[in-house]
Each structure stands twice: as structure tokens, then as C-alpha cells.
Amino acid sequence: MLSFKLRHAVLLASLMFMPAVHASSFDCASAASPAEKTICSDPYISNLDEKLGSQWRATLPKVVDSKALKVDQRGWLKQRNQCAADVACLRRQYLMRLKALEFMTSPFNWDATWQLIPWGVSSAVEVKTRRIDATHIAFDISGVAGANSGDMEGVATIEGSEAHYAQDNCSLKFSAFNGLLDIAQEGADPTCGGGMGIYYGGRYVASEQPLSIDYDLLSLGVARTEQENQLLHALLKDDYQTLLQNSGAMVTGEASRDVPEAQVDEFWLRGLANTNAGVLMRAPDARVWLVLLVFDEQRKLRARYYTNVPKWKKRVPEALLAWHKRIADGETLPLDFMP
């Protein structure tokens, strides 16, 4: 059996030299890990893997430091494999990696505006860096996570391809990597000037505009399967995007006594749990129920109820009614029964 290091060296080499003769960038006949087997069995992820292989081959000869990129790729493969059979995790890993490779060939410059490659749709961080002199950069960071926000500014000392900042219990390390910027943060959210859920660490690309990544409910872990993702697309129509934007945090909700075999998940944006939220219940045989908060044309809050179960079109399961009552908190919250 191949050793761990040798096996990943083979996977890395396959990205660089093998022709795309399979549905993915490696031979699915030899797929051994849960992640590899999942990639080969999922057409969407397999297509992302093939795109990644093509983009890797196009990017590698154009970057300033190809050796560093190869090391980074091996690290990414290990991180990807930690997803195991988690489809949502694998989708996010590939979408984020593709976005990073897209910007790697640009020359690095400390005088730039940087955007965080986000893990979801409800958070964003922008960093502006400016070189003051040969050994210092000024930085200005602003981030959001739902309704929470954070800002920080300071001066970091340049040491080779890195810049370091430390004050009180917060420290940041800025690392130049080909055309990207990596930031490592030590210190809690409030210590570094952020609200709850605001974290500045991560990988950034040089861009004046926030990044757009093609996340869907499956890649965010809201939908459990591609079938359910497509079902929600068809059922919710325009409100599919509303649920997507409200899927910042998720917890398991109380079971519904009238549908005992169902599972309940609640979603909300940080700081906006009473205005940007939803509750989704699913049961065997691809049955789903959903209550989603929306704003009408007068910017008044109301709830919409969706289900694909005919006998439940005119009534709402107990768990969803309880959630609606809790969110209303004694106020009037209209509930619309959707087709």
C-alpha cells in the first residue's frame, strides 16, 4: 500500500501530468479514501475536480513560485480529504480552491485591496494594505458576518515575504503567497476589533469587489442530497435564494410530534435571527416543509410556508408552528401558504 505522503504525491502528479481520461482528475478505479470515492460518485464534484485539474495545469507554469504552489496543493489535498464523504464540505473546498487558483498568477503587491475567499454567503472581509516604507505596511480591515461587523487598522512590520502585527492580545501575520495574501489571526473576535463571528484569518485575493462564489444549499449543508437541492429549487423558486442568504448558522430544532420521523433544522443570520431566518423539516420519501421569513414590498416582515406534501398544503406541522410563534414573540407575523 502506498504511504500517506507518497499517495498524495501521486495525486499531485496526476493533476500536473495525467490527461483527463476519467470523470475526475485521478483514476476513479483506484479511488481509496472516502473523499475520492465521493468525488467519483458525485457528478457535480467530479466536474469540479476536472475543472480544478485543468486550472492547475494552466496556473502552475505562470506563478512566481511554483514550488510553493506544489506544497500548498499537497496541503489542500489533505484538507480536502478531511471532508471524507461530506458532499457539502467537498463542494466548498473545490469552489474555494478554484477561486484561489484564478487569482494566483497576478503579481503580488503590498499596495492592494484584498477580499477574503468566504466559506459561506453571509460573511465577507475586505483588507486594504499600503506600503509605508521598506519595512512597514499600513492595513485597514473591515468584516461582516450577518448583522455583526468589525473593523481594525494598524501598522505591520515586513519581514521577508511576511508582515507582522501585535497589540495587546491580538496578533496578525500577513503572508504573501504568489498573487494571494494569507492572514493568520491569534486572538478572540472582540480582542481583534470584531463582533461575534468576525474572524480575519483566511486566504485573500486581490480585488476591489467582493467575491462571488457559486454556493448553493447543498454546498452550505442545508440540503442533504442533490435530489433535495433540486426539489427545494423547484419548490421555492425565487425564495431559494432567500433561504440561501439566510443560511448563516444552523441548529437542530425540536422534533414535530405530528411527523415523528422528520428532522428539523433552524437557520438564521448572526444578529438577525428575528428577521432573516427559516426552519426546514425533512422526512423520508423526499418530503419537506419550510417556513421562511421575508420582507414584503412595504418592508414589513412576514412568513411563507412551503411543502411538497399534498395533505400538508393547508396545515402546518407543530414544530414549524412553534417556531413561528417563537419568532413572532407576541407580535403579528402573517403566515402565507405558498403553492
Residue position matching grid coordinates 461530506: 86
The predicted pLDDT at position 273 comes to: 66
Tell me how far apart the alpha carbons of residues 256 and 31 are, in angstroms, rounded to a whole number: 40
Number of residues written out for the chain:
339
Helix, coil or strand: residue 161: coil
Tell me how far apart the alpha carbons of residues 32 and 4 are, in angstroms, rounded to a whole number: 12
- At residue 300, what is the residue type? K
pLDDT, tens digit, 9 for 90 and up, residues 173-232: 999 999 999 999 998 878 887 777 789 999 999 999 989 899 999 999 999 999 999 999
Closest CA to 242 of 122, 103, 327: 122
pLDDT in tens, the chain (339 residues): 444 344 444 444 444 444 443 456 788 988 989 999 999 999 999 999 999 999 999 999 999 999 999 999 999 999 999 999 999 999 999 999 999 999 999 999 999 999 999 998 888 999 999 999 999 999 999 999 888 889 999 999 999 999 999 998 999 999 999 999 999 999 887 888 777 778 999 999 999 998 989 999 999 999 999 999 999 999 999 999 999 988 888 899 999 999 999 999 999 887 676 778 999 999 999 999 999 999 999 999 999 999 999 999 999 999 999 999 999 999 999 999 999
DSSP character at residue 194 = -
Rounded to the nearest 5 degrees, what angle is found at the Cα of 267, between the Cα atoms of 264 and 271? 145
Cell numbers at 206, concatenated: 486581490
Cell numbers at 146, concatenated: 450577518
The predicted pLDDT at position 10 comes to: 41
DSSP character at residue 247 = -
Chain centroid to CA 46: how far?
A: 19
Domain ranges of the chain: 4-103, 112-206, 226-337
Burial of 17 (0-12, 13-18, 19+ CB in 10 A): exposed
The predicted pLDDT at position 276 comes to: 82
The predicted pLDDT at position 24 comes to: 65
Strands (E), 76-169: 112-116, 123-133, 136-145, 148-159, 162-167
